[in-house]
Copies of this chain bind each other. A is one copy, B any other.
Amino acid sequence: MKFISKHRRRAKISLIDYSKNSYQEKTIKSISECFPFKNKPTVTWINVDGLQQKQALEQLGKCYGFHHLVIEDIYHTRQRPKVEDYEEYFYIVLRMVYYQNNNINQLSSEQISLVLSSNYVISFQEGIRGDVFDPVRKRIKSGKNRIVNFGTDYLTYSLIDAIVDNYFTVIEKLGDKIEDLEEELLTEPTPETLKNIDNLKRIIIDLRRSIWPLREVISRMQREDSPLIKDSTKVYLRDVYDHTVLVIENIETLRDILAGMIEIYLSSISNKMNEIIKVLTIISTIFIPLTFVVGLYGMNFDFMPELRSPWGYPAVLLIMASVAIGMLFYFKKKKWL
């Protein structure tokens, strides 16, 4: 999981301003277009997608009165999820995870920052991946949804909810991959399989690191005693908190399953070795005594009466057959065959 993205796209800024009765959508070209909305009583949601222009960021921060540490944290996108109360506004950091190039072995995460005030929400995405907030946007646009009746805190809840929902998608894919690996483990385990399991373990560790502090963030927002978060919204936060706990539990389950898979892999390796050694032992223990017998009658002593007897050869053949059959019975009894 790399934290700092190397290729930052040019930022796309969009603004949605809505209330129960109004709806306005805008694509922002210049930061200054946002300024008039600062004190509008309606809910304003500014989404900044891509963070490469630090200057624009600072302009926006200055207009809306952000602490300069907030601007630093938005820009340096390797923060842990956290929530900070600056009285006038809340600063919330979350992490959104996704698979790079849809490759399940390359989990990446980007930082999403939210600033929640009484009449606006500003969200900052690194903007590498497609937009996780699309469903929220649609619900606002449709206008009939509960979302337009509530304030900025409900909007914030909706955004967090969208991010937590995204975790479920990521975990589901991981679960499918693990099922494939289990199949592979039972039919034909290779050293490659172990490497894959180990890789998934690391992804699970990364996921835990992103989601654990998120749980704490939501829990703190619930306990927060600020006019910015209304009691009616706290019920919804409790709901998204429950979802987060469910994500964590699923991750823990996957972790336990992976641990069990390593155990089975190691045991299957030693089973295979067992079987190989068994074959070696069976062949050797049958033929080594027989080879001794034929060597015995290959000796060139002048006085070996058996060699002169016409029944010598068939007798030796018979003896050897008996020894071989006896051995086979012994192995049968030992359950090696």
Taking residues whose C-beta sits less than 8 angstroms from the other chain, chain A's interface range is 35 or more
B268 with A267: CB separation less than 8 A = no
> Does A295 contact B302, Cβ atoms closer than 8 Å?
no
Decide yes or no whether A245 CB sits under 8 A from chain B: yes
Identify the stretch in A11-19, A190-198, A221-229 within 8 Å (CB) of chain B at 4 or more residues. A190-198
Interchain CB contact (< 8 A) of A291 among B84, B288, B301: B288
Number of identical protomers: 5
A277 and B281 contacting across the interface, CB-CB below 8 Å? yes
Which of A108-116, A123-131, A201-209 binds B? A201-209
Interface membership of chain A positions 170-211, coded 1 if the CB is closer than 8 angstroms to chain B and 0 otherwise: 000000000000000010100100110010011001100100
* Interface assignment of A298: CB less than 8 Å from any CB of chain B: yes
Chain B residues in 8 Å Cβ range of A289? 283, 287
Knowing A280-B284, A288-B287, A307-B301 touch, does A272 contact B274 (C-beta < 8 A)? yes
**A141 sits at the interface (CB 8 A):** no
* B-chain residues with CB within 8 Å of residue A279 when the two chains form the complex: 281, 285
Known: A277-B273, A294-B292. A253 touches B205 (CB 8 A): yes
Q: How far is the CB of A320 from the nearest CB of chain B, in Å?
A: 9
- Residues of B within 8 Å of A307, CB to CB, are 299-302
Stretch at the interface among A34-42, A55-63, A95-103, A308-316: A308-316
Q: Tell me if B67 and A235 are in contact (CB < 8 A).
A: yes
Contact A264 B195 (CB under 8 A): yes
List A residues 219-275 near B (Cβ within 8 Å).
235-236, 238-239, 242, 245-246, 249, 253, 256-257, 260, 262-274
Q: Of A20-28, A45-53, A75-83, which stretch is located at the interface? A: A75-83
Residue from the list B257, B264, B280 in contact with A194, Cβ < 8 A: B264
Q: How far is the CA of A335 from the CA of B281 in the complex (A)?
A: 19
23 A-B pairs, CB-CB below 8 angstroms? A69-B236, A80-B245, A82-B242, A194-B264, A198-B260, A202-B257, A205-B253, A205-B256, A209-B249, A269-B274, A270-B273, A277-B281, A279-B285, A280-B284, A284-B285, A287-B288, A287-B291, A298-B300, A299-B307, A300-B300, A301-B313, A302-B312, A303-B312
Question: Which residues does A use to contact B, with CB under 8 Å?
Answer: 67, 69, 73, 78-80, 82, 84, 186, 188, 191, 194-195, 198, 201-202, 205-206, 209, 235-236, 238-239, 242, 245-246, 249, 253, 256-257, 260, 262-274, 276-281, 283-285, 287-292, 294-304, 306-310, 312-313, 316, 335-336
